Chain A
Amino acid sequence: MATLVSQSMRPRPHKPKLTTGKVVSAILRYGTLIIMALFFLLPFYLMVRNGLATEMDISSPQWSFFPGSLHFENITELFSDPDVPFVDGMINSTLVAVLQTTGQILVCMLAGYGLARIPYRWSNTIFYSVLLTLMIPFAVIFVPVYVIVSSFQWVNTLQGLVVPGIFSGFTTFLFRQFFLSFPHELEEAGRVDGLGYWGIFWRIVVPNSGGIISALSVITFIAAWNAFLWPLAVGQDSSAYTIQVVISAFMNSQNVNMHELFLSTAIAILPLVVIFFILQRFIVEGYKQSGLKG
């Protein structure tokens, strides 16, 4: 510090000096952040608290943060409740999310590369027809899409849940933008080695696009897992319910079993929380690039 003081004639904007004002402002800032963080975590806490409590604890007018003991037997109760197709819902959601993510990334990545790199006279026209689809969100045209899908007899089927969500103009657009800035030299090297477009794409481009593939996969997976309107319209029979529809039907039924409802929300979000903590970097990147999706 002594040397610092001796040089203090020069302005040093980066060296912080602790003043009372700064300490107070830091305490205020961290205080606000901590209180807000607690509010943001509260709903997650409620899922677990009510999920592992008894019905009595939940409906008790004396609200307490840690009611009684934890009732892990609620888990077996939920999994074996014949009125709530919870396990089927989790299986359906897993299938839908995995298939839709794989399909969407594959289809849109291929199309994005084709639009970015392969010279074809109608390429621009086709690109504009893809851009046009960005203006209209899927949710707004769910009635017309439902009409088409039900004319295929796809209501209550896995393909009805999965296939219409695969073709995303948005994901294609983001892949195209990425491939446009992909280094030409790498692709040229592949061409010299005798690879065609197909070989260059799979051997050179895809292995070097891990970042964007992960980012878009993660946000597609989250959107597919959390989707509600389309699964509600197409999955009309309880065997075709995704977990979101199962929980919605459960909460809107006559006699709601509270601890099972909350436990089902806690378990339904668990896969996403795990994904969130492992892949948060990619999720942030994905949202930054897409602004907002789903």
Chain B
Amino acid sequence: MYSEKKVEPMKSLSTPSQPEIISLRNDTKASRQRIKQQNRKAALVFWCFAGPLILGLTVFFYIPIIWAVVLSFANARATLTPTGFVGFQNYIDMFKDSAFTSSLGTFLLFALFIVPTTFAASLGMALLVNSVKKAQGFFRSVFFLPTACSYVLASAVWRMGIFSGTDSGLANTVLHLFHLNSFDWITTPTPPWFWLVLVTVRLWLQVGIYMIIFVAGLQEIPRELYEASYVDGAKKGWETFRAITFPLLRNASISVLLLNIIAAFQAFDEFYNIMFGGNLSLARPPLVYIYQVAMFNQDFGHGSAGALILTIIIIAFTLLQGRFLGFGKKD
């Protein structure tokens, strides 16, 4: 609409008679004012739409992080406001604190267990489900159903029903079938079979989501590629998987890997509920430790420092993900 109005004064420039120039000046002034007014109206409308979100993110995201930075350099025990600044002491304390560093180690160990198993299981299940013709939807639903379950509920079933240390536990019943004695799955430090409990519960809960990502990826691979490879003499199965399927699932694979690592990094629910009490020292991931520091000990200085260390680590992972997936690249 106002592109026409802009053209008008340009035309009048070619005939530079005095009165016209004046009228031109007035014109631009008026149109500038109109544009300004329109801009102001657009700004108002924009803030009507985006305002609530921006306000919320400011209060519940940006201000907390800034406040955490302040608290992380301060003493804040049993209080939410700093009582004396201590420089980098909180950070130094956290890295010297063997419970914190070992919680980072626990995360690494956990990631080492959970990432390859989830990757292999979700890819395998996607291939298997995708390869059958009948009841495909049924199997997809069954494998996807656990994603509706919470970590708390699954932890209850795993801890009290499947891997309970008593004779009545399901896992111990299976051991009895092989004439083995009952085993205390969760509280025995060595051999560390509690990892089996922690890994299987997460595997059960999340494998469906990753399977869906892989199935979506599989369905995007053009059928002609397989047909062409059969013509070239490739055998159905491992050869086509290695030459076509797997390379073309590159993006899905990277998504699954990195989403999985980031999710493992935030592990809290199942560790808190399965290893509750004294057993937490066997396997305590970073978030659980920070929860204990901040909520049990009410030490918000160290808690904030720990949270910021986690934040920096997770940003590094996210940037890595962006790099691998080629965000921000043009091609």
Contact = CB atoms under 8 A, between A and B. Distances in A.
B259 to A, nearest CB: 5
B204 to A, nearest CB: 7
A118 to B, nearest CB: 4
Contacts of B99: none
Interface string A97-114: 000000000011011011
Interface in B146-169: 146-162, 166-168
Interface centre among A60, A149, A244 (most CB of B within 10 A): A244
Contacts of B194: none
A13 interface: yes
B68 A114 contact: no
B152 A228 contact: yes
Nearest to B277: A252
Interface residues of A, number: 93
Contact of A33 (B53, B129, B147): B129
B18 interface: no
Given A63-B170, A229-B268, A273-B148, A123 B156 contact: no
A251 interface: yes
Given A139-B268, A291-B213, A261 B142 contact: no
A135 interface: yes
A13 B230 contact: yes
B304 A262 contact: no
Interface string B128-158: 1101100100010111111111111111111
Interface string A256-294: 101001100100110011011000100110011001100
Interface in A158-174: 163-164, 166-167, 169, 172
Contacts of A233: 291, 295
A291 B255 contact: yes
Closest 5 CB pairs of A and B: A114-B49, A167-B56, A226-B150, A144-B64, A144-B68
Interface of A: 13, 26, 29-30, 32-33, 36-37, 40-41, 43-44, 46-47, 50, 58-61, 63, 107-108, 110-111, 113-115, 118-121, 123, 126, 129-130, 133-137, 139-151, 163-164, 166-167, 169, 172, 196-198, 201, 222, 225-226, 228-229, 232-233, 244, 247-248, 251-252, 256, 258, 261-262, 265, 268-269, 272-273, 275-276, 280, 283-284, 287-288, 291-292
